[in-house]
Amino acid sequence: MAKTPPNCAMVLFGAHGDLTKRLVIPALYNLARQNQLPKNFALLGVDHNNCTAKQWRDDLHDFMESLTQSKGEAKEKKIDEKVWKKLSANFHYLTADFTKDKTYSDLGAELAKMDKAYKLDGNALFYLAVADRFFGTVVDGLGHAGLLKQNGKHWRRVVIEKPFGHDLKSAKELNARIRKQLDEHQIFRIDHFLGKETVQNILALRFANGLFEPIWNRDRIDHVQITVAETVGVEERAGFYEVTGALRDMVPNHLFQLVAMMAMEPPSSFDADVVRARKADVFKAMHPLTTSDVVRGQYGAGKIGDEAVRAYRSEDGVKKDSATETYVAMKLGIDNWRWAGVPFYIRTGKRMTRRSTEIAIRFKRAPYALFRETKTEEMKSDWLVLRIQPDEGICLHFNAKQPGTEMVLDSVALNFNYKDWFKAAPAVGYETLLYDVFTGDGTLFQRADQVEAAWAVVDPILKAWAEEKPTDFPNYKAGSAGPKAADELLREDGHAWRAIE
């Protein structure tokens, strides 16, 4: 049974933002339903919008009614009014400008009032659901106002959303700036991918089963494919996406975290710093990338299902000659004993044939072809496929004899479906991460050295792409599996991408 987190206040910067409505508030609601919030808890929303606490609560309630993410369901018809009333009764609001000193003195006064009224023991969590240009400003403001000081009696923690920097230089500068005000253990750099039950299940699969860990190395694994495919376009985020692109948006965080979970050495314990150090080791061991290891793409007009989809350059807010990539694929090498010679192929893109996130491990062929009734080219390699979303589970593909008098083989599958087995769907992500922040567990959050090591891998590509604009954009149709050049990336090694399923 999960322990009850300590009493605390939560200060939510960006209280009117999309992230707050779609993810943070539903996660708090889910925790409240599961009785996993602190016994004494209060939330202070901070934003520049001029409104009252009641207006803010009503706005959140209306949004929650339209899209409630309860554990195990993407949507439900209505929220539990009893749970919501109890939770939102302790919601407060402060109209403020993040750039003004007065904001933080006012915030300190509000926190003191809330602490006394709700008996919060002086503990406070500051959640930065704001544009990344405000990260340093808000942390400086909190630090200069003395709101980040902690002692043996109370704690102060800060949650920071991605993007954490735009390249290696900016990531180092941001790390240096916020660490003037905070110790590393107070900083929780959040990546919602790591909150997914199925991502955390990678560790259980590897380290809790004697079946897999002995073969989790270059002697038995031929290569690894990681796919994060989306059917959506940029939606309302054109301004953000135009200066970010698929590489910055997805690779140093989401995809590299999946690679790290797959490739890390066994930690001596599940202490947060031990686990994070093993992940950082993976990034530091990655072979330096060149442009020949990476493919970029941008979607043109096409169809997804029966729906006609316009090209990226025709999206609202996008330049007509935009060089921003909406797809990236790359070949990674990890230079250590376990993985030397094993390519890790990763890809992510928007407006692809279907939504799917999976990790596929291809094992090497059996060393000797005993089964001569089956042609060599028909002998399929074994695959272990970890489905992260939407159909969460694990599938093992292997060869078995077909019915009949002859020894002819075919590929079959053992399939584990998360929802069917546990009779419950996995958590959507933010509940787990928020609970971990409340309890002070940093295992699933990125440390400074991880962030900088990940940016160091992709930085040479960012610089090369900045100097050489693409001449073939758009180079894949919406509703397809991506550009042909990405297929060539694997074909050169005698491999092929798995179909996006």
Both 141 and 217 in one domain: the answer is no
Residue 70 lies in a domain: yes
Q: Which residue has the tokens 């797959």?
A: 262
Both 203 and 117 in one domain: the answer is no
Number of domains in the chain: 2
Residue 429 lies in a domain: no
**Residues 6 or more apart from 256 whose CB is under 8 A from it?**
283, 454, 457
Give the whole-angstrom CA distance, residue 188 versus residue 444: 9
DSSP-derived secondary structure letter, 275: H
Q: Does the active-site annotation cover 287?
A: no
Question: β-pairing, 156-160 with 124-128?
Answer: parallel
Could you tell me which of 155, 150, 117 has the C-alpha nearest to residue 6? 155
Both 246 and 146 in one domain: the answer is no
DSSP-derived secondary structure letter, 210: T
Residue 55 lies in a domain: yes
Residue 168 lies in a domain: no
Residue 270 lies in a domain: yes
**Residues 6 or more apart from 167 whose CB is under 8 A from it?**
248, 455, 459, 462
Q: Determine which one of 144, 254, 397, 495 is catalytic.
A: 254
Give the whole-angstrom CA distance, residue 358 versus residue 348: 11
Domain closes at, from 112, 146, 161: 161
Q: 420 is written with which tokens?
A: 């069917």
Both 108 and 247 in one domain: the answer is no
Q: Which residue has the tokens 């960006």?
A: 14
Both 205 and 330 in one domain: the answer is yes
Both 325 and 456 in one domain: the answer is yes
Give the DSSP letter string of 4-22: PPPPEEEEEESTTSHHIII
What pairs with residue 480 in β-bridges?
A: 352
The pLDDT of residue 370 = 64
Domain closes at, from 161, 186, 202: 161
Both 141 and 198 in one domain: the answer is no
Both 333 and 478 in one domain: the answer is yes
Largest CA distance in the chain: 84
CATH code, 107: 3.40.50.720
Give the whole-angstrom CA distance, residue 233 versus residue 265: 36
The pLDDT of residue 427 = 64
Both 250 and 297 in one domain: the answer is yes
Contact 66, 86 (CB under 8 A): no
Residue 183 lies in a domain: no
The pLDDT of residue 375 = 57
Averages of pLDDT over runs of 10 residues in the chain (501 residues) are 89 94 93 94 96 94 74 57 94 96 96 96 97 96 96 94 93 97 97 85 90 93 97 89 95 96 94 94 95 97 94 96 98 97 98 96 78 57 90 86 77 85 72 95 94 97 95 96 97 95 83
Both 220 and 264 in one domain: the answer is yes
Measured at the CA of 91, the angle between CA 88 and CA 95, to 5 degrees, comes to 140
Both 78 and 206 in one domain: the answer is no
Could you tell me which of 269, 275, 325 has the C-alpha nearest to residue 486? 325
Residue 432 lies in a domain: no
Name the residue type at position 291.
Answer: T
DSSP-derived secondary structure letter, 165: -
The pLDDT of residue 71 = 41
Could you tell me which of 233, 26, 16 has the C-alpha nearest to residue 131? 16
The pLDDT of residue 425 = 62
Give the chain's end-to-end CA distance (angstroms, integer).
Answer: 36
CATH code, 349: 3.30.360.10
Domain closes at, from 161, 186, 218: 161
Q: How many CA atoms lie within 13 A of 33 on its CB side?
A: 16
Q: Which residue has the tokens 């990539």?
A: 325
Domain coverage including residue 103: 8-161
Contact 473, 245 (CB under 8 A): no
Residue 3 lies in a domain: no
- Tell the burial category of 182 from Cβ atoms under 10 Å away from its Cβ (0-12, 13-18, 19+): buried
Contact 289, 460 (CB under 8 A): yes
Both 122 and 259 in one domain: the answer is no
The pLDDT of residue 73 = 44
The pLDDT of residue 72 = 42
